[in-house]
Amino acid sequence: MPEYDGILALDRMERAVWKVKDRLLRATAALEDAKVPYAVVGGNAVAAWVEQVDETAVRATQDVDLALRRADLELAKAALAKVG
C-alpha cells in the first residue's frame, strides 16, 4: 500500500469518508434542532438507497447536499453556522 506523509493511503481514504459522514450528521442534527424541514439529496441519498440493494456498490461522495425550502434559508444558515 503506498504511503503519503507516513500515513497509509487507505487510512487517509477512510478519514475522508468519515469527515463527510460527520458533516452530514452535524448538519442534519442542526436542522432538526432548528425545526427546519430538509431532505438529503445527491451522493449521500444515492448511497443510502444503493446500500439497501447492494452495500458493495456504495461509493463515497465528498460533499453533503441538502434540499430545503427557500423560505427556510436564513434559519437554516443560522442553524448550520452554529455547527460549522
**CB-based contacts of 5: which residues, under 8 Å, 6+ apart?**
none
**CB-based contacts of 2: which residues, under 8 Å, 6+ apart?**
9
How many CA atoms does the CB half-sphere of 22 hold within 13 Å? 8
Per-residue pLDDT tens for 2-25? 555 656 778 888 899 999 999 999
pLDDT beneath 70, residues of the chain: 1-7
* pTM score, whole prediction: 0.82
pLDDT for 47: 92
Write the DSSP symbol of residue 72. Answer: G
pLDDT for 36: 98
How many CA atoms does the CB half-sphere of 81 hold within 13 Å? 6
